[in-house]
Amino acid sequence: MPDVPDPRPLEGRRLLLGVTGGIAAYKAAVLVRLFKKAGAEVQVLMTPDATRFITPLTLGTLSEREVLIEIFPENADGSWTKHVGLGLWADLFVVAPATAQTVAKLAHGFCDTMLTATALAARCPLLICPAMDHDMYRHPATRANLERLRSYGYEVMEAAHGELASGLVGEGRLPEPEAIFDRVVAMLAGATEAAGSLAGRHVLVTAGPTREALDPVRYLTNHSTGTMGFALAEAAARRGARVTLVAGPTALPTPPGVTRVDVVTAEEMHAAVQAHRDADLVIGAAAVSDFAPEAISASKIKKTGAEMVLRLRPTPDILAALGREKRPGQVLVGFALETDDGPANARRKLEAKNLDWIVLNDPKEPGAGFGPGTNRVTLLARDGTVEDLPRMPKRAVAEAILDRVAVSL
């Protein structure tokens, strides 16, 4: 029998629909109805100029939710932070129509409306559907902005060809609502497939720095923020894994669906990892201190003007311990932060610790290493494969790493 199409393919899905100030804004009403009929919850965000073309009352009635426009609403109930909550709530953010102005704002990180603020805060995929006059659409600035959005990981649906509001004929029309709807269904179906790629697996991730006390006031540590490890934990959870995140000291919030174990020292991290050493996939993204003070002073060490000599002892090698006990089918992934002879040092670590993959990055390279922004990594596999990834946001790096290592399971 032929497959029967699912009458509600978006059942339980949560969509953000961004509507900007172009003549095609009227098609947003059709989009809302299509999304709702397919079972989705829809929250509409409008730019102020969009209200010149279609009223918030219309879209609010169809979506059964208050339409949000300004980032600073008149009430004082704390709802100005809704952009953060919505960015976590949504499964997909669609901007249709996306004018040249909004495309430029999104490409360069402007944050002046609820729509643009939510786009910056969103952790979900974004689908951009441009609509403007032909010459605006083909202008090098617009093309460059659309390419920039693609580099962020956004999907861009090319504009359709046809009659335009100016009377010209050419590219620039908003794709028909049914075509946008089909793209949304396909994107979410793909996300579901990706999310299921780790279903039933236990993934253990370490993240952040460790702190090794000198006295009650001071400690040895490093510049790690934990961002890369947290991005990996979040991405694994989205793919359906049961995720345990062993985190050193960091202020980052726990990703949705992740079980977090907080530790401070390398010894504590080692113990926590050993407690979950049966995980199917272990990703050691933490920047673990290699050495700790041999003795911790019970009192604050006073400055005397004389030289201070510290005696340090090695801390446990967490991944090497797992490598010695690795069971069949288990996959171990390490990180190597190297300032010199990176590939050679990373390959030595991979072999010495019995890892399956190692992720190499250089803190001296712009946009790589520690910090909350981007990373530029090289993946080295046990079979000798080497792959250089471009500089990307750490969330995108996390997805790329999981795309590669998941096939080893």
What proportion of the chain, given as a percentage, has pLDDT over 70?
94
Average pLDDT, whole number, for the chain? 90
pLDDT value, residue 84: 80
- Position 375 scores a pLDDT of 84
Q: What is the pLDDT of residue 130?
A: 96
Sequence ranges of the domains in the chain: 14-195, 199-290+312-408
Mean pLDDT along residues 19-27: 96
**Between 391 and 304, where is the model more confident?**
304
Contacts of 44 (CB under 8 A, 6+ apart): 16, 17, 18, 19, 28, 32, 56, 59, 60, 63, 65, 67, 68
Separation between Cα atoms, residue 277 and residue 272, nearest integer Å: 9
- Residue 83 pLDDT: 83
Q: Is the pLDDT of residue 7 over 80?
A: no
Please tell me the predicted confidence (pLDDT) of residue 69. Answer: 93
Q: Residue type for 209, please? A: P
Question: What is the token pair recorded at 43?
Answer: 């929250």
CA distance 214 to 32: 59
pLDDT band of 79, cuts 50, 70, 90:
low
What is the Cα–Cα distance from 223 to 366, expressed in whole angstroms? 15
Kindly name the residue from 75, 145, 222, 354 that is annotated as catalytic: 222
Q: Kindly report the pTM of this predicted structure.
A: 0.58
Tell me the per-residue pLDDT of 160-183, one tens digit each, with 9 for 90 and over. Answer: 888 888 888 888 999 999 999 999
SS3 55: coil
Q: How far is CA 327 from CA 48, 274, 278, in A?
A: 58, 13, 8
At 80, the pLDDT band (50, 70, 90 cuts) reads low
- φ/ψ of residue 333, rounded to 5: -125, 130
For 113-130, the pLDDT digits (tens) are 999 999 998 989 999 999
222 catalytic, yes or no? yes
| Equal fold, 14-195 vs 199-290+312-408 | yes
Could you tell me the pLDDT band of residue 2, with boundaries at 50, 70 and 90? very low
What is the model's pLDDT at position 357?
Answer: 97
Q: Give the right CATH number for 14-195 from 3.20.20.140, 3.30.420.40, 3.90.1300.10, 3.40.50.1950.
A: 3.40.50.1950
Average confidence (pLDDT) over 275-289? 97
- Which of 271, 227, 235, 288 lies closest to 252, judged by CA? 227
Instruction: Identify which of 80-84, 189-193, 311-315, 393-397 has the greatest average pLDDT.
Output: 311-315
Q: What CATH code is assigned to 199-290+312-408?
A: 3.40.50.10300
